[in-house]
A and B are shown apart, each in its own frame.
Chain A
Amino acid sequence: MKFERYGIGIAKGMAVTFKHLFRPPITVQYPEEKLLVSRRIRGNELVWYPDKCTGCATCAKSCPQGNIEIVTHIGDENSYVVDKFEVDTGRCMFCGLCVESCPYEALAMGVGYERAQHRRGQLVLSKEELQLSEARRPSGYARPKIEPTLPRQTLLVDWDKGREEGGQKLSLVSLTKKRGRGV
């Protein structure tokens, strides 16, 4: 006598959902809690190092959109001095070709992703804005030296625990103790 057809299936399903009540919520409360992105993210930002840049404009040539505008003059030591390094990130599709093509590693993708602006013009970044700062940190994309210095990505689901037990068991990583609070 199989009990699957005697309402046992419904009872099992109800038990499954009841267990969910006691699991930590998977929701990331975004402005308060932020996940760390992948260390090699080809993300939403560019970081430019003025001391490494020789003004060769390889990045500008490799850009499919022609977003990077470089103006240079020849300085004292017979080298280029960059007067203007401007990236229109509003038209940038973050293909990463400029970063890959840079011979001097003077350009890197950034780990940031919060770059919404109120005006289109604010998306055109000058060379001062593109430089390394507290808010603008490089990612490990095409820059293997940077990668180990970055913190590991936070995952919502911890697969490792389950693998030790030999199965694909999901367990949620609780991000912080503080949960379910309003702003």
Chain B
Amino acid sequence: MTLLDQFRLWLASIWPEWAAYVTPAIVGIVVVLAFVLTMVIVFIYFERRLLGRFQIRLGPNRLGPEGIFQPIATALKVLLKEDIVPAKADKVVHWLAPVIVFVPILLIFAVVPLHEGAIFADLNVGIVYVVAISSLSAVGIYSAGWASSNKYALIAALRTVAQMVSYELPVVLSILGVVLMVGSLSMNEIVDSQSIPFILLQPLGFIIFFLGTVAEMNRCPFDLLEADSEIVAGYHTEYSGMKFAMFYLGEYGHALAYSSIIATLFLGGWQGPLLPPIIWFLIKVVAVFFVIVWMRSTLPRLRVDQLMAFAWKALLPMAVINLFIVAVEVLWLPEALPWIMVVVNFAFAGVLILLWSKLFVPGGGRVEV
């Protein structure tokens, strides 16, 4: 029983049935939308300041105390810009693409539990829903690149499809490991069953999932589709104004969505001592995002062949083996002794990573195409 369901039942006792059905949904949508947009703005500010500190700079610090109004100023600037559509663009698709990118990201938050029962829709196939919805934005990015009738945008679009399709597999396989342990696809039950966070129970699965999602949200070092040193700005080369803002929001929304899902699946969601659950959830989300920014400030971009090789030769076999190990453990290890599983899985993760880094150096450290 989610909080919204309780609200609906309470409303049904005083309001007509249709109003009691519609109102909680609207309230839920507004709350989720407010949460996403606020957190996206916070993330934009957080990333810019943090990236500044990683590069011994200060980051934006002019507007307001410590520059907290900078993302708002950026948003206003972007909104006021002229909306340019290329003459040879496919106008309808060009207009539609930012929406297709942005809307699935909002949809993901329908199944992210922020608190006990604070979930918009407690789907029993929650995590499958996330996987299904999150791959939709690849369509948006592809259509953006195609509709721009720009060679760089098209290159980026094709790279996106390759990257998204490749990294979807290890991500889904590592999710399966979690699902096997929980025995349910519902996000609520995944959180409930984490008395020990799954990052300890499945370190390898966490690493695969983390890298796979970083690749799916197109962040460094997997940001091939907007590699500004190679292909101007990738799929949003021909975008400006409000549409560009949608892509920008979508990028950070993606980061927020995947950070929340990583926090939910592997870090124990809203669970935690002392502090209220929502604070714990935000701490975990921001911690995951911190690591993403940290990676961005450190690691150089992969080449296309390295990227594909990493997905197919490294992450995918490791994910399969991880799934196998987890399945065997779920089947045979006694449930009363989860710490044995922690030790065994850490050992397996170490061995597998060592083994794969040994295997994954074709040509003496030089990847041959």
Question: By DSSP majority rule, is chain A's interface helix, strand, loop, or mixed?
Answer: loop
Cα distance A10–B67 in the bound complex, in angstroms: 32
B interface footprint on A9-33 (CB within 8 Å = 1, 0 otherwise): 0100110111011011111010000
Is B298 within 8 A of A172, CB to CB?
no
Is B64 within 8 A of A182, CB to CB?
yes
Is B353 within 8 A of A179, CB to CB?
no
- A17-B298, A180-B61, A180-B66 are known contacts. Are A7 and B357 too (CB-CB below 8 A)? yes
B354 interface hit (Cβ, 8 Å): yes
Among B4-47, those with CB < 8 Å from A are none
B88 interface hit (Cβ, 8 Å): no
- A182-B63, A182-B64 are known contacts. Are A5 and B57 too (CB-CB below 8 A)? no
Is B357 within 8 A of A17, CB to CB?
no
B62 interface hit (Cβ, 8 Å): yes
Is A25 within 8 A of B62, CB to CB?
no
Cα distance A24–B354 in the bound complex, in angstroms: 37
- Give A11's nearest chain B residue, CB to CB: B298
A156 to chain B, nearest CB (A): 10
B54 interface hit (Cβ, 8 Å): yes
A181 interface hit (Cβ, 8 Å): yes
Interface residues on A, range: 20 to 34
- Give B300's nearest chain A residue, CB to CB: A13
B243 to chain A, nearest CB (A): 31
- Give A8's nearest chain B residue, CB to CB: B357
Residues of A within 8 A of B361 (CB): 5
B312 interface hit (Cβ, 8 Å): no
Is B299 within 8 A of A13, CB to CB?
yes
B353 to chain A, nearest CB (A): 6
Identify 15 new A-B residue pairs, CB closer than 8 A, beyond the known A21-B54, A180-B58. A5-B358, A6-B353, A6-B358, A13-B299, A18-B294, A20-B54, A23-B56, A25-B57, A26-B57, A29-B58, A180-B66, A182-B61, A182-B62, A182-B63, A182-B65
A-B contact pairs, 29 of them (CB 8 A): A5-B357, A5-B365, A6-B353, A6-B354, A6-B358, A7-B353, A10-B298, A10-B299, A13-B298, A13-B299, A14-B295, A16-B298, A17-B54, A17-B294, A17-B297, A20-B54, A20-B55, A24-B56, A25-B52, A25-B57, A25-B58, A26-B56, A27-B58, A179-B58, A181-B66, A182-B61, A182-B66, A182-B67, A183-B62
